[in-house]
Structure 1
Amino acid sequence: MRLIGFLLLLATAIQAQNFELRVEAKTVIPGKKIYLEYINELGKLIKVDSASPSAQRKVTFKGKVKDQGAFYLVNFFDTPKPQKVLVILEGGETVDIVADGMNDEDGKSAFAMKGDYPNVKFMLELMAISKEMEAKVRKWNQEIQVDPKQEKRIQAEFTQAQAASTGKIKALIPQMGSHLVALWATNFLPAEKEMASLEEIANRLNQARPNHPQVKQFVANLKRLGGVNEGSMAPEINLATPEGPSLALSSLRGKYVLIDFWASWCGPCRRENPNVVKTYANYKDKGFEIYGVSLDQNREAWLKAIETDKLVWKHVSDLQYWSSAGAQAYQVNSIPQTFLLDPTGRIIAKGLRGAALDQYLAKLFETK
């Protein structure tokens, strides 16, 4: 009986490490497969499984979860611009995903996910909060186009709504415990304002998962984040521009330079871009420049976002996602993130966005 009991416990433990993803694509590409990709601690994507859709446009992925909990992407057909759906697995889950299978002309797509598990539940709640804010921003942008005089009112409403959105996210984080979705939630918290919350998450996850590769990377990055301080000389960045040749940050000495870390896939970044566009227009002729460092992986998505959002300043990227040399040099673990440099290349401010950036520059150039 003791041996049988031990074997039953062992079988239960093994089962708890397994997962099952049941995926349905509303649209399929004949002859193409759906892939399951694992995201390692450096942000690299590693294909771990693939399957051709059935006649019912469905595939099932089964396996043992990596690292006792990991981030995965369901990659629909691995096209140049594939629809990808994030899923966080810790073992024991059966998750259902129904997705469009392809992006529309604007690069957008939708999906539905079901599974009574904390990572699924909280991920969907975070996405709902983000989409609510995105809808408000679209409405405000339309209002400004119709009546530019409403800009001051809309900026105030935006600041208030952004604070409310951050508040909702912070309220959810304690409920997430040590589940990996708490690590994903840090992408929605601006490091310059929410360092205490980020440190709380890091401490909790480090105690529960001290050897987890994603947690170790996050904790290490957070510890080093304070290393790029106001008053220190800005580390060099020298990456490729959209045109091909590289552009060194140091080549912009003589101007006040805002290093803007962003990405086409980052909702908060895209929502912030209209504010940055206006700020740049106001100060570009007074000795102000922007050096945009993209954490994109897809070159076409990066270039389209620059064109769509009318970002007419300097841009660079090595298309290495979170492994970007620029992000590593500045210990950037959440975006958008900014660093303002004086004409000598010294960091004089961090985390300036929206009205705060405009007000800082207004005061700065008043004294010139």
Structure 2
Amino acid sequence: MKLIGIILLFVTSMQAQNFELRVQAKTVIPGKKIYLEYITDLGKVIKIDSAVPSAQHTVNFKGQVKDQGAFYLLNFFDTPKPQKVLVILEGGEFIDIVADGVNDEDGKGNFTMKGDYPNVKYMLELMAISKEMETKVRKWNQEIQLDQKQEKRIQAEFTQAQTASTAKIKALIPQMGSHLVALWATNFLPAEKEMTSLVEIADRLGKARPAHPQVRQFVANLQRLQGVNEGALAPEINLATPEGPTLALSSLRGKYVLIDFWASWCGPCRRENPNVVKTYAAYKDKGFEIFGVSLDQNREAWLKAIESDKLVWKHVSDLQYWNSAGAQAYQVNSIPQTFLVDPAGRIIAKGLRGTALDQYLAKLFESK
């Protein structure tokens, strides 16, 4: 009886680590596969399974979760710009996913996900909050294009809506407990304003899952981020320019430098760029420079965005996406993100954008 009990316990434990994803694509590409990808703690994406959809446009993925819980992506047909759906698994899940299979004109495909699991529930709620904000921003951008005089009103409405959105997200996080979705939720919290919340999440997850690779990486990153504070010497960044040679941040000593982390694929970054262009034009002759650090992977997309958005300042990138050496040095986990450095190379402000950046620089240069 003791041996049978041990066997049953082992089988139950194995089953608890299993998962099954039942996936349907509304649109398929004949002969092409749907891939299941695993995201490592360093952000590297690894293909671990694949299947050609059935005549009913379906595939099933089964397996055991890695690391007692991990982040996965469903990659539909691995096209140059595939639809990808994030799935957070911790074992024991049976999840149904129906996706468009292709992206729309805005580069996004819709999907539904069904499964009574905390990671599914809260991930969908976070996405709904984010989508609501994106819809408002799109509407405001259209209004500004039609009437520039509305910019002040829209900026005030944006700030109010952003505060409300962040409050909704922060209210959800305690309910997530130590589930990995709480880790993903940190992407929706700006580090420069919500450090207290991020530290609380790190403490909770660090105690509950101290050996988990994603949790360990997050805790370590947060500790380093707390070191990139105002008054600290700005960490060096020395990466390739669009022309080829490298450019070091330290070579710009003697000027006030805005380190601007961005990417061509980042919608909020691209929407912010017209404001940055105006700011640069106003202060570039007063000892102000911008050091753009791109988190792109595609060189052509990076260069095209620079040209299209008329970004005439300094640019660097190692084309390593979230593994960018610059982003790692400054522990950037969301973009756009900025650090303002004084002529001596010390950080004097973080997270300045739009009106806040203009007001800070106006006061900084008023006596110069």
Q: TM-score range by the shorter chain?
A: over 0.9
Cα-to-partner distance string for 1:260-318 (whole Å, 9 max, x where unaligned): 12334545545544543443343334332222222233445545655665544433222
Equivalence for 1:280: 280
Write the distance in 2 (CA, Å) between the matches of 1:266 and 1:122. Answer: 23
Identity %: 86
Matches within 5 A, 1:140-179: 140-179=140-179
Cα distance in 1 for partners of 2:160, 2:223 equals 30
Between 1:272-281 and 1:149-158, the stretch displaced more is 272-281
Identify the residue that residue 107 of structure 1 maps to in structure 2: 107
CA distance in 2, matches of 1:54, 1:243: 48
User: In structure 1, what is the Cα distance between the partners aligned to 2:228 and 2:114?
Assistant: 41
Report the counterpart of residue 51 of structure 1 in structure 2.
Answer: 51
* Contact 1:134–1:267 (8 Å) recurs in 2: no
**Alignment of structure 1 residues 65-144 onto 2, 5 Å:** 65-144=65-144
1:17 to partner: Cα distance: 0.3
What is the alpha-carbon distance in structure 1 between the residues aligned to residue 90 and residue 268 of structure 2?
A: 27
CA distance in structure 1 between the partners assigned to 2:38 and 2:148 by the alignment:
45
Contact 1:186 1:334 in 2 (8 A): no
Q: Distance in 2 between matches of 1:176 and 1:270?
A: 32
Distance 1:268 1:93, change over 3 A: farther
Structure 1 residues 142 and 338, CA gap change in structure 2 (3 angstroms): same
Matched, 1:351 2:358: no
RMSD value, Cα:
2.1
- d(CA) in 2 for partners of 1:133, 1:313: 30
Q: Would the alpha carbon gap of residues 181 and 308 (structure 1) be closer, same or farther in structure 2, given more than 3 Å must change?
A: farther
Mapped to 2, the partners of 1:122 and 1:361 lie a distance apart of: 39
Task: Work out the number of aligned pairs and report it.
Answer: 368
Could you tell me how far 1:56 is from its partner in structure 2?
A: 1.6
Q: Which residue of 2 aligns with 1:191?
A: 191
Q: C-alpha separation between the residues in 1 aligned to 2:308 and 2:99?
A: 25
Higher relative contact order (Cα pairs below 8 Å, separated by 6+ residues): 1
1:328 is aligned to 2:341: no
Assess if the C-alpha contact under 8 Å between 1:173 and 1:182 holds in 2. Answer: yes
Q: How far apart are the structure 1 equivalents of 2:177 and 2:302?
A: 34
* Mapped partners of 2:309, 2:324: distance in 1: 22
Give the SS at the match of 2:101: coil
The 8 Å contact of residues 134 and 271 in structure 1, kept in 2 or not, is answered as no
Q: Which residue matches 1:7? A: 7
> For residues 16 and 298 of structure 1, what CA distance do their matches in structure 2 show?
40
2: CA distance, partners of 1:128 / 1:277: 31
Partner residue in 2 for 1:42: 42
Question: In 2, distance between residues paired with 1:29 and 1:122?
Answer: 31
Whether contact under 8 Å (1:36, 1:49) holds in the other structure is yes
User: Greater shift after overlay, 92-101 or 259-268?
Assistant: 259-268
Unpaired runs of at least 5, structure 1: none
Give me the whole-angstrom Cα distance separating, in 1, the residues matched to 2:169 and 2:308: 28
Q: Over residues 130-157 of structure 1, what are the superposed CA-to-partner deviations in whole Å (9 max), with x where a residue is unaligned? A: 1111111111111111111111111111
**Could you say if the C-alpha distance between residues 84 and 337 of structure 1 is closer, same or farther in structure 2, counting changes exceeding 3 Å?**
same
Rounded Cα–Cα distance in structure 1 between residues aligned with 2:25 and 2:312:
37
Rounded Cα–Cα distance in structure 2 between residues aligned with 1:130 and 1:112 = 16
Tell me what 2:64 maps to.
64
Judge which range, 328-337 or 296-305, deviates more: 296-305
Q: 1:184 to 1:302 in 2, by over 3 A?
A: farther
Counterpart residue number, 1:226 = 226
1:187 deviates by 0.7
* Distance (Å, rounded) in 1 between the aligned partners of 2:326 and 2:15: 41
Give TM-score scaled by structure 2 length.
0.92
How far apart, CA to CA, are the structure 2 residues paired with 1:125 and 1:298? 31
Distance in 1 (CA, whole Å) between partners of 2:242 and 2:104 is 24
